[in-house]
Copies of this chain bind each other. A is one copy, B any other.
C-alpha cells in the first residue's frame, strides 16, 4: 500500500530553537531514499507504507537520542486505491484548476 504523509515533528523540553532536531529528521528521510519535500511547517513524504512509517519511528528515536525528553508530532496520512497519485500530481491538479479558471 502506497502512502503519502505530511509530518511535523516537535521536540519538547529543548528550548525554542528546534531546527537541528528537524534537520536530523530530514537526514533520516533522505537516508531512507524516500521521495520527500520540506515546507515551512512539515515535510511531505511518499512511498510504501512500511518504509514511510519506519522513517517516522526513526525520527522520534533520533530526536530523543539528541536529547529531547518529549516529542509531539502531527501528521496527515493519505492512501487511495482508485489510482496512483504522486505529490507532484496533487499540486499539478490544483494548479491546473487555478490557471484555467
A residues near B (Cβ < 8 Å) are 1, 3-6, 8, 10, 12-13, 15-16, 18-20, 22-23, 26-27, 37-42, 44, 46, 49, 53, 56-57, 60-61, 64, 69-82, 87-88, 90-91, 93-98, 101
Q: Are A23 and B94 in contact (CB under 8 A)?
A: yes
Complex copy number for this chain = 4
Q: Are B101 and A27 in contact (CB under 8 A)?
A: yes
Q: Are B69 and A26 in contact (CB under 8 A)?
A: no
Knowing A26-B94, A87-B40 touch, does A71 contact B61 (C-beta < 8 A)?
no
- In the complex, which residue of chain B has the Cβ closest to the Cβ of A5? B41
Q: Which of A41, A95, A98 has the most CB of B within 10 A?
A: A41
- In the complex, which residue of chain B has the Cβ closest to the Cβ of A44? B40
Closest chain B CB from A25 CB (angstroms): 9
